[in-house]
Amino acid sequence: MLSSTSLKPITNPKIPFFSSFSIQNPSLLSFHLPFSPSKALLKPISATLIPSTPQPQQQQLYQPFRPPPSPLPPKFRSLDAQGRLDVLANRNGLWFEYAPLIPSLYQEGFSPPSIEEITGITGVEQNTLIVASQVRESLIQSKTDEDVMSFFDTGGAELLYEIRLLSASQRAEAVRYIVENGLDAKGAQDLARAMKDFPRRKMDKGWKSFEYGLPGDCLSFMYYRLSREHRNPSEQRTAALMQALQVAESESAKKEVSQELEGGEDEKPEKDDDLEYRVRVPVVRMQFGEVAEATSVVVLPVCMAEEDTKGILEAPLECRSGGDFGVVEAEKGWKRWVVLPSWEPLAGLRHGGVVVAFSDARVIPWKSNRWYKEEAILVVTDRNRKEVEVDAAFYLAKVDGGRLKVDTGSALKEMGVKESLGTVVLVVRPPKEESDDQLSDEDWE
């Protein structure tokens, strides 16, 4: 029999022994062992404390909220809502200093009309101030020349607002050109549109002669393109080319515009094996939102190229808009319509116009290494001009057992075709997202 009274406590002054309970009745711990206690106690019993394995420190998922720095200038941060309204009403300070007060009032429940009623700043002016102050801040972050930025200290919010859609690098070049040439809001708007549109026009005639990095060249190319929409000769064409020459910056751009003014392009010899020199049908790539921004549009019936040519003949000949709301009314019902900007070739197409949708642009006999594109296109055709007369013109015809084909007058004459379904006046390509002028993430403000 072994009891707890026969065991002496083991003491070690260096390693204390802690017990989680106290023994009140030693007899309760008595039990039988299957071996001899004398042998079991020949060696002293020692005990050491094994340090616990440290638990790996868990990553702290919760991060305390840190409010963003206030966009308000330090001198306005302590003002309450009424104080900020007073600053706006009295125009205290510089425009880019009190502009951030407007969105702070929006956050407190004020609406643009209520701010206009109190301060006299219209909703349009409020938006202009907010956006222009953000554009100005991005220019400062881009380290734009201080002499250029000082021009906008006491005004110019309407100018900065117009370049809001440009990238950070484009904005810096744009403001330099605006300041150096004294552009107004309309001029700044034209410049911004020209710079944004320039990369999309790689396939246009003369594009390589203009430099993308020069705002003046972008603006010059816009006027240069505009001149080609008018007859030659005409006052509108000459005026547009004079504007292009006036704003051009590079020598190559000036040379290209000067040659166009002198009519050198018209004297270029025609090549029989290159349709690019003989065909004068405009090819336009639609841009996203272009119809929404257009000041005037045209509505035309659409026929599918895979369907019978009967649809082309039966499509409505005319659509008119009238009344206070410009309601469009066709002479008869039709199931497919398209809305296009009122480009120059379409402006006079009020009667007999129809659009034929092809699923593959290779039906157009363009120069193979440049224009054969596997993409859908719209071919705008004038049904009032069916007779095949001009060799270099494009016509929509029914050939090869009923298949629709777009070809030149000379090719159709060789096949014995004397009357077509109509003369092609415009080819429209679809919008494309993958464009060189799209902004990267770091360019967005």
What pLDDT is attached to residue 46? 54
Length of the chain: 445
- Please tell me whether residues 153 and 71 are part of one structural domain: yes
Q: At a CB cut-off of 8 Å and minimum separation 6, what does 329 contact?
A: 319, 320, 321, 322
User: Is the domain of 120 the same as that of 164?
Assistant: yes
Find, among 51, 50, 9, the residue nearest to 26 by Cα: 9
Range of the domain at 402: 297-428
Q: How confident is the model at residue 49 (pLDDT cuts 50, 70, 90)?
A: low
* pLDDT for position 55: 59
140 found inside a domain: yes
Residue 71 clears pLDDT 60, i.e. is over it: yes
Q: Give the pLDDT band (50/70/90) at residue 320.
A: confident
> Is 386 within 8 Å of 420 (Cβ atoms)?
yes
For residues 296 and 170, which has the higher predicted lDDT (pLDDT)?
A: 170
- Percent with pLDDT over 70 in the chain: 74
Residue 174's CATH number: 1.10.10.2830
Q: Which of the listed residues 177, 198, 219 is the one where a domain comes to its end?
A: 198
Contacts of 36-45 with C-beta under 8 Å, sequence gap 24+, read 37/2, 37/6, 44/10, 45/10
* Residue 278 reports pLDDT greater than 70: no
| 354, 357, 361, 364 alpha-carbon torsion, rounded to 10° | -30
CATH number at residue 385: 2.10.109
Q: What integer pLDDT is reported at residue 150 of this predicted model? A: 93
> 3-state class of 102 per DSSP?
helix
Is residue 113's pLDDT more than 90?
Answer: yes
Whether residue 119 is predicted with pLDDT greater than 70 in this model: the reply is yes
Q: Are 232 and 151 found together in one domain? A: no
Which string of b and e fits 155-180 if b means at least 16 CB within 10 Å? ebbbbbbbbeebbbebbbbbbbbbbe
Mark whether 210 and 173 lie in a shared domain.
Answer: no
d(CA 294, CA 282): 18
Q: Please report the DSSP string for 272-340 in residue order.
A: TT-GGGT----EEE--TTHHHH-SSEEEEEEEETTS-THHHHHS-SBEEEETTTTEEEESS--S-EEEE
Amino acid identity at 321: S
Domain check: are 217 and 150 in the same one? no
pLDDT of residue 334: 85
Do 172 and 221 lie in one domain? The reply is: no
Give me the residues paired with residue 423 across strands: 382, 395
**239 and 226 fall within a common domain:** yes
Residue 114 to residues 117, 119, 157: CA-CA distances in angstroms?
Answer: 5, 9, 22
271: confidence class by pLDDT, cuts 50, 70, 90: very low
Is residue 4 assigned to a domain?
no
Q: Are 383 and 353 in contact (CB under 8 A)?
A: yes
Identify whether residues 151 and 88 lie together within a single domain: yes
Q: Is residue 273 part of a domain?
A: no
Q: Both 307 and 381 in a single domain?
A: yes
Same domain, 175 and 89: yes
- Cα 423-426-432 angle, rounded to 5 deg: 150
Confidence of residue 273 (pLDDT cuts 50, 70, 90): very low
Residue 370 resides in a domain:
yes
Residue holding tokens 């000067």?
258
Domain membership flag for residue 342? yes
From residue 76, alpha-carbon distances to 32, 90, 116, 236, 437 in Å are 87, 14, 20, 53, 39
Assess whether 248 and 304 both reside in one domain. no
The stretch 228-239 carries a mean pLDDT of 83
Mean pLDDT of 69-85: 79
Domain final residue, candidates 181, 198, 215: 198
Is 143 within a domain? Answer: yes
Query: Is 132 within the bounds of a domain?
Result: yes
More confident residue, 282 or 70: 282
Last residue of a domain, one of 138, 171, 198: 198
Q: What are the structure tokens assigned to 237, written together?
A: 């064409």
The chain-wide mean pLDDT, for the chain, equals 78
Q: Which two tokens stand for residue 113?
A: 């009309």
Q: Does 333 map to a domain?
A: yes
Average pLDDT over residues 29-57: 53
**CA 151 – CA 153 distance, rounded (Å):** 6
For tokens 């938006």, what's the residue? 127
In the structure, what pLDDT confidence band is assigned to residue 50 with cuts at 50, 70 and 90? low
Instruction: State mean pLDDT over 358-372.
Output: 64
Average pLDDT on 89-107 reads: 91
**Domain count along the chain:** 3
Pair (303, 420) in one structural domain: yes
The reported pLDDT for the residue numbered 444 is 28
Predicted confidence (pLDDT) at residue 36 exceeds the cutoff of 70: no
